[in-house]
């Protein structure tokens, strides 16, 4: 397993500051927050400069988060599709191998919506493969369809494309209708990315992204998840992803040092350099 940090954890810092300060905190892999990367490029930087920045600090960017809006219809879906195409090109140019796609299917739904979801996923995976990128479908607890691990695994299996897999976001796993036995649906072939966080003293029904805290500081029991990752010999990226405004106030270097220590402890890799 490859420990990583998501740039959304330090949302107020710049893309370059994240890379520099995370590296100083012994983080060698970054879960790229796409809007932050795009802002960096829109300020006159080039893709080549991004590559040089990563190389200088010996940091890899194996995954990027996230693309939404692919499951709708009408003008909004067309715009999301165009943005998705641009992001695939960007990921391909930077060697970012996995792009997280949110299963943000809103209700009410009918069979036509489910059929369209299959078509959208197949189209997304096919387009991604043309750029050397994989799609990691993130089930979301607030979705009308695709709000749990079992359904996400079924969708991936039914579409049956080698470039389509699952993103296991522990927040959505914990607060949504997923069950521990659903972990059995994870395999070395279908699990493309893992994002960890914790929740403390908050009923699941009321938990929001802003309640995310460092893994190990809350109520989530990590052992069954980590045991399953080891059982399937998962060798992909495991990142911390927090959207907590209070944590955004922490300088990236300080956050990186503390977060990497917490992540290695949860993964049982405390001795990893």
Question: Helix, strand, or coil here: 102?
Answer: strand
Range of the domain at 185: 2-267
Q: Is residue 272 part of a domain?
A: no
What is the number of domains present in the chain? 1
> Is 122 contained in some domain?
yes
What pLDDT shows up at residue 74? 78
Asked whether residue 24 is domain-assigned, the answer is yes
Q: How far apart are CA 99 and CA 78, in angstroms?
A: 19
Tens digit of pLDDT for each residue in 106-148? Answer: 888 999 889 999 999 999 999 999 999 999 999 999 999 999 9
Would 121 be classed as within a structural domain?
Answer: yes
**Whole-prediction pTM value?**
0.94
Give domain status of residue 223, yes or no. Answer: yes
The CATH number for 28's domain is: 3.20.20.150
Residue 273 in domain: no
User: Would you give per-residue pLDDT tens digits along the chain (273 residues)?
Assistant: 999 999 999 999 999 999 999 999 899 999 999 999 999 999 999 999 999 999 999 999 999 999 999 998 778 888 999 999 999 999 999 999 999 999 999 888 999 889 999 999 999 999 999 999 999 999 999 999 999 999 999 999 999 999 999 999 999 999 999 999 999 999 999 999 999 999 999 999 999 999 999 999 999 999 999 999 999 999 999 999 999 999 999 999 999 999 999 999 999 853 343
In a domain, 245, yes or no: yes
Task: Return the sign of the alpha-carbon dihedral for residues 262, 268, 271, 273.
Answer: negative
Residue 231 lies in a domain: yes
Return the pLDDT at 270: 39
């Amino acid at each position: 397993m490859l420990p990583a940090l998501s740039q959304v954890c330090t949302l107020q810092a710049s893309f370059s500051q994240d890379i520099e300060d995370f590296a100083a905190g012994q983080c060698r892999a970054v879960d790229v927050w796409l809007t932050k990367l795009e802002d960096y490029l829109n300020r006159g930087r080039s893709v080549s400069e991004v590559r040089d920045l990563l190389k200088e600090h010996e940091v890899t960017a194996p995954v990027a988060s996230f693309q939404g809006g692919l499951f709708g219809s009408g003008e909004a879906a067309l715009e999301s599709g165009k943005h998705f195409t641009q992001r695939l090109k960007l990921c391909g140019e930077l060697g970012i191998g996995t792009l997280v796609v949110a299963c943000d299917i809103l209700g009410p739904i009918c069979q036509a919506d489910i059929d369209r979801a299959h078509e959208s996923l197949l189209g997304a995976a096919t387009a991604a493969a043309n750029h050397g990128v994989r799609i990691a479908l993130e089930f979301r607890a607030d979705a009308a369809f695709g709000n749990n691990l079992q359904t996400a695994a079924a969708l991936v299996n039914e579409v049956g494309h080698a470039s389509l897999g699952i993103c296991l976001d522990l927040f959505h796993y914990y607060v949504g209708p997923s069950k521990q036995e659903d972990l059995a649906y994870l395999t070395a072939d279908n699990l493309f990315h893992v994002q960890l966080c914790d929740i403390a003293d908050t009923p699941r029904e009321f938990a929001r992204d802003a309640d995310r805290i460092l893994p190990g500081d809350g109520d989530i029991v990590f052992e069954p998840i980590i045991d399953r990752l080891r059982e399937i010999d998962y060798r992909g990226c495991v990142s911390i992803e927090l959207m907590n405004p209070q944590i955004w106030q922490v300088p990236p270097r300080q956050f990186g040092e503390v977060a990497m220590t917490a992540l290695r402890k949860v993964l049982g890799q405390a001795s990893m350099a």
